[in-house]
Structure 1
Amino acid sequence: MNTHLPVADGRAVRKYVGTLARRHPTMLYGALALHVSAALAGLAAPRLLGGLVESVEQGTTAHHVDTIVALLAGFLVVQTVLTRFARYLSQVLGEQVLAELREDFVDNTLALPVGVVEDAGSGDLLTRTSRDVDQLGWSVRMALPEWTIAVITAVVTFVAALSVGWWVAIPCLLGAPPLVIGLRWYLKRAKDGYLRESATYSQINATLTETVEGARTVEALGLGPRRIAASDDDIAASYRAERYTLYLRTVFFPSMETSYLIPTVLTLLVGGYLYTQGEVSLGAVTTATLYVQMLIDPVDRIVSILDELQLGAASLARLLGVAQVPDDREVSGREPDGEHLEAEDVRFSYVEGRDVLHGVDLDIGVGERIAMVGPSGAGKSTLGRLLAGIHPPRTGSVTVGGVGLVELPLDDLRGHVALVTQEHHVFVGTLRENLVLARPGSSDDEVRAALDAVDALDWVDALDDGLDTEVGSGGRAVTAAQAQQLALARLVLADPHTLVLDEATSLIDPRAARHLERSLAAVLEGRTVIAIAHRLFSAHDADRVAVVEDGRIAELGSHDELVAAGGSYAALWDSWHGRG
């Protein structure tokens, strides 16, 4: 069963938000100043209307009324202009923050140990890169700026209401308990509810992805009903999670709506009583009531948007959790002395207590070509990954030039050892952009030479736009064999000393693969090559053959030596040629 990637706690989320805020102090404080100014401009209306009521009560003129109306219009215009620029600056700041957060997330995702990604599965990471990023984008662009405006408006309005008289605090304070109780009840439950909801989306994606990727196996083994049942279980769990968060909202929001009415009603009652006692004027009661009424809108937005912010906070916690995955390598700072690759007493397990490699020893000479063969599931690919520094061994060591592969920074490691598997990816962009990823700044001549080395130059030149052809999603489709050739061409450009080829030519037809490997031989001259293959012609051409069985190297020697020995390799060779 897949395990989920970690989720950051509240402290880590607050620390990261603080870091982002400190990166943009000018824009942040500028936006806050504009919001405060807009809120202050909005406070003029109740004061002016309260004064107008009082002047009407005492007798006034049409000119005075016209003056008040003109002032109201003026303050409205000022508030509108300030609000416009405040929102603009807030959204610009939000876009910059979101861009930085996405960049941090991509960096953290690319730094994930491959073993962790494989263990977690694609569903969890896919949900974080899609739904969580989208939800956080909405929160940063819209919810957070609106919530900030609402908080500032509420604080400024409340202070203005208190300036009318101390008695205004009474209805406001009496209206606070239901609001606080409701908020505490909701916030205590909301984060866990939304995290559980997001986790169910990850599980749905994981199940669907596994079903689609293994569609042929599902069909061949008649597993369709079982996979459908698994999807139904995932959807049912998601339904329960969403029903719970819906329950929180249906209890919380109606109770909040009721609590909003209490301060307004109490202001009228208390103010009316004080007015009858002659302690406050009618204008003061009018002003106070309008201020308290004005509080309803920002407080309502604070509460309503808080729900969206809870979703955003849950998404941010999931995105930040990717950075909390412990690294599987400890950089020592030591420099390798040469390119000699050696595995000594290597043991490895994907699941604790169940080793898939059992005390493997393999000494590979510089410039030597090793072929690893054996039955499926014997551990060939696992050993290849350890020799490429993808996984650290559970015990034992894998070294290059006397330094452990997991002691080298990734950039340095790839200059020594690189892995090419039958899994490949064509990125969105031009063919040239896909290739120079391996070595930025490569010239067209170098790119074409790399393509020629892997027999891909002819079909690339046949394209209308050549190296400028757009490929990947939405671009020109390339075949599986062509995609593999592109991956191998990247290797030629990267120019590592040691290559681990994990059935790298398995999707090309045998004649093409044979020709491709011969073409690569000239490019790989003088390099160390470890080829994991199920076609034994690769083993025939190797300097030595390592036969892997049950997580151990059962036989090691040249092709002729192993055939003459009459062991496992000889049996495989006879079977390959249809003998025996």
Structure 2
Amino acid sequence: MTAHLPIAEPSAVGRAAARLVRADGRAFAGVLGLNALTAAAGLVGPWLVGRIVDDVQAGGDMGAVNRLALTILLFALAQFLLARWARYAGHRFGERTLARVREQFVDRALTLPASVVERAGSGDLTARGTTDVAAVGTTLRDAGPEVLIALVQALFILGAVFVLNPLLGCCGLIGLVGIWFALRWYLRRARAAYLAEGAANSAVTEVLSATVTGARTVEMFGLQERRGTAIREALEVSRRARTRTLGLRTVFFPAVDFSYVLPVVAVLMVGGLLHAHGAMSLGAVVSAALYLRQLSEPLDAILMWVEQLQSSSASFARVEGLGAAPQVTPAGVPVPVDDRIDVVGAHYAYGAGAEVLRGVDLTVRPGERLALVGPSGAGKSTLSRLLAGIDAPDTGTVTVGRVPVAALGPEQLRRHVVLVTQEHHVFLGTVRDNLLIAAPTARDDELRGALAAVGADWAEELPSGLDTELGEGGYRTDGSQAQQLALARVVLADPHTLILDEATALLDPSTARHTERALAGVLRGRTVIAIAHRLHTAHDADRVAVMENGRLTEIGTHDELVAAEGAYAALWSTWHGGQER
């Protein structure tokens, strides 16, 4: 069952935005100052036009009119230059702030417990880290500066109208009531609609990535039609969500366009009456009308970006919501006193499903090589997740050195327990880059030693050695080579306990046995818990633990369990007989 990652509440989003502003407060203040100067320069033109009208009506000197016209031109140029400077400063502020958002997102994503990521689905996390962060970036880089400039200009323009005549200023405000109602109607509905659109996009990303990643499995089992249906359903939900946001825009923007003309009409009518009664000059009426006509430009900018602001607000809520997810940042957790692992009365179920583990008791001694065997579905992999601290038991305890494994922070956990599964990943970059992930300070001879330890002889034959590029446009590794790279990273990480959950399953039997023996040599003196169906691993182990239906039913050496003629003896007989044939 998928468990979605949290979404931040509006109050949390507001606090996060305030923190970002405070982090670069001086630059933000500079952006505000430049925008204020830009808006002030823009007020001079309409006021001087009014002066020109009054001077011409009074039969004034044309030289004075020409000087006023030249002044208008100079202030227009000053407004242009100040606006460019303000946008430049705003964009720099936006880029620095976006960098902080990205870095914080990566930090939080890396501290998410693996179980949280698995249950939420990689698609949701991917969509938040790409689409949502990009939407926030567009706002910080483009929409934010533009809206800020427009807001300052709109406030200055309205203030100028009130200075000319308070009654005309009130007319301008009354004319904006239609925009206020339309905006209020839109904002009440937009957040939920855009959040639903973001969730639908995440679902599409999840189903597409799962289908592409498992394309071979889909083809092998003939699941093309089922996966196609799932993709179409996700796309339909996404289409409906996008149609909903489009429907909001088709109501909002026409209402706003109609409301633009109302302030100008109101000022011309009231101003005309005042001028007719000698209470206001014609130039003042013209200036007020020009100001309110000029008001449409910043309002246009605000309303043009309001959709982006709503979309990015929903995106920021999804990005910031990662901070509300469980983080692996324990405080005050004691340091394990030794390397002994104890499982006591562990019960575990996935969600509301049936129990997968039913009262497991197990002690793994430091330096021991333990093999976990049993039929598929017995609970071996689930137990390995608990041993590695990925999940915590519903009841009971799983401890290392008397400290709960799941309570350890990432750095502590990596020093104690590392889980290696069938899943592996080759990162874009060189062989060296792929290995240094585990040990950033490792020397080249150590990297080559780790490759040799896992039997990766092919690495020595690469054209550029450790500098050979892997992936697209470079050397393409097959499944077994990718798995050997993953195992080499484990060797470099050097944990005291290594859990191998079918870690050599993709290797051919000969390579797998060679790799496991090489690892055994490298990890001698360390604890190794091997979970595999290939029972030669159990034959070489110090002890063997047999799991059936979520319970630990047998434990002992290979010879002891074969002699006991129980479940393990039956498994060994079947496997060994098959090997001989």
Report the TM-score, using the length of structure 1 for normalisation. 0.96
| Kept after mapping to 2: 8 A contact 1:547/1:553 | yes
* Aligned residue number for residue 238 of structure 1: 238
Q: Which residue of 1 aligns with 2:498?
A: 499
| C-alpha deviation, 1:472, in angstroms | 4.1
- Comparing 176-185 with 424-433, greater Cα deviation is found at 424-433
Q: Which residue of 1 aligns with 2:566?
A: 567
Kept in 2, the 8 Å contact 1:275–1:281? The answer is: yes
Cα contact 2:39–2:152 (8 A) shared by 1? yes
Partners of 1:408 and 1:3 lie apart in 2 by 23
Describe how 1:87-102 pairs up with structure 2 within 5 A: 87-102=87-102
* Structure 1 residue matching 2:577: 3-state secondary structure: coil
Shift of 1:225: 2.6
Is contact 1:171–1:263 with CA below 8 Å preserved after alignment?
yes
CA distance in 2, matches of 1:170, 1:335: 69
- Residue 475 of structure 1: CA displacement? 4.2
- Once residues 391 and 346 of structure 1 are traced to their aligned partners in structure 2, the CA distance between those partners, rounded to angstroms, is 11
1:471-514 deviations in Å (ceiling 9; x for gaps)? 24554322221221111111111111111111111111111111
Give, in whole Å, the separation in 1 of the partners of 2:304 and 2:521.
Answer: 67
Equivalent in the alignment of 1:534:
533
Asked if 2 retains the 8 angstrom alpha-carbon contact of 1:331 and 1:406, the reply is no
Displacement after TM superposition at 1:337 (Å): 1.5
Contact preservation (8 Å) 1:332, 1:407: no
Which amino acid is the alignment partner of residue 559 of structure 2? Answer: D
Matched residue, 1:43: 43
- 1:119 is matched by which residue type in structure 2? R
The match for 2:478 is 479
Q: Please say if 1:466 is aligned against 2:445.
A: no
| 1:556 paired residue number | 555
- Looking at structure 1, the residues matched to 105 and 176 of structure 2 have their Cα atoms a distance apart, in angstroms, of 39
- Asked if the contact 2:176–2:260 (Cα under 8 Å) also holds between the matched residues in 1, the reply is no
1:9 corresponds to which residue?
9
Is contact 1:44-1:75 (8 Å) kept?
yes
Matches within 5 A, 1:16-415: 16-327=16-327, 330-352=330-352, 354-415=354-415
Gaps of 5+ in 2: none
User: Which deviates more from structure 2 when the two are superposed, residues 341-350 or residues 183-192?
Assistant: 341-350
Tell me if structure 2 keeps the 8 A contact 1:147–1:302.
yes
Measured in 2, the distance between the counterparts of 1:328 and 1:379 equals 25
- State the AA in 1 paired with 2:77: V
What do residues 117-163 of structure 1 show as CA deviations (whole Å, max 9, x unaligned)?
11112222222122112212211111111111110110111111211
CA contact (8 A) 2:347 2:360 kept: yes
One-letter code aligned to 1:201: N
Q: Deviation at 1:212?
A: 3.0
1:428-450 CA-to-partner distances (Å, cap 9, x unmatched) read: 22222221221221222222222
Whichever residue aligns with residue 202 of structure 1, its letter is S
* Native 8 Å contact 2:111 2:410 kept in 1: no
Give distance in 2, aligned partners of 1:231 and 1:429: 32
Displacement of 1:327 in angstroms is 4.1
The answer on whether the counterparts of 1:328 and 1:391 sit within 8 Å (CA) in structure 2 is no
Alignment partner of 1:363: what SS?
strand
CA 1:471 to 1:309, structure 2 compared with 1: closer, same or farther past 3 Å?
same
* Cα separation, partners in 2 of 1:106 and 1:527, compared to 1, 3 Å: same
Structure 2 match to 1:510: 509
**Distance across 2 between alignment mates of 1:407 and 1:329:** 9
Structure 2: distance between partners of 1:196 and 1:339: 47
Pick which of 95-104 and 125-134 moved more.
125-134
Q: 1:468 corresponds to which letter in structure 2?
A: D
Deviations 1:206-227 (A, max 9, x none): 2223333343443444433333
2:162/2:170 contact within 8 Å kept: no
> 1 CA distance for matches of 2:66 and 2:475?
69
What displacement does 1:427 show? 1.9
Partner SS for 1:578: helix
Q: Which runs of 5+ in 1 are unaligned?
A: none
8 A Cα contact 2:339 2:366, kept in partner: yes
Contact (CA 8 Å) 1:564, 1:570: kept in 2 or not?
Answer: yes
Q: Deviations over 1:329-383 (max 9, x none)?
A: 8544312111111111111111135211011111111110001111122111111
1:97 Cα deviation after fit: 0.6
| Matching of residue 416 in structure 1 with residue 416 in structure 2 | yes
Q: Distance in 2 between matches of 1:574 and 1:61?
A: 115
CA distance in 2, matches of 1:197, 1:339: 48
1:202 positional shift: 1.5
Please say which of residues 151-160 and 214-223 is displaced more in the overlay.
Answer: 214-223
* Counterpart Cα distance in 2 of 1:244 and 1:413: 46
CA–CA distance in structure 2, aligned partners of residues 318 and 539 of structure 1: 47
Q: How many residues align?
A: 579
Q: Distance in 1 between matches of 2:441 and 2:243?
A: 53
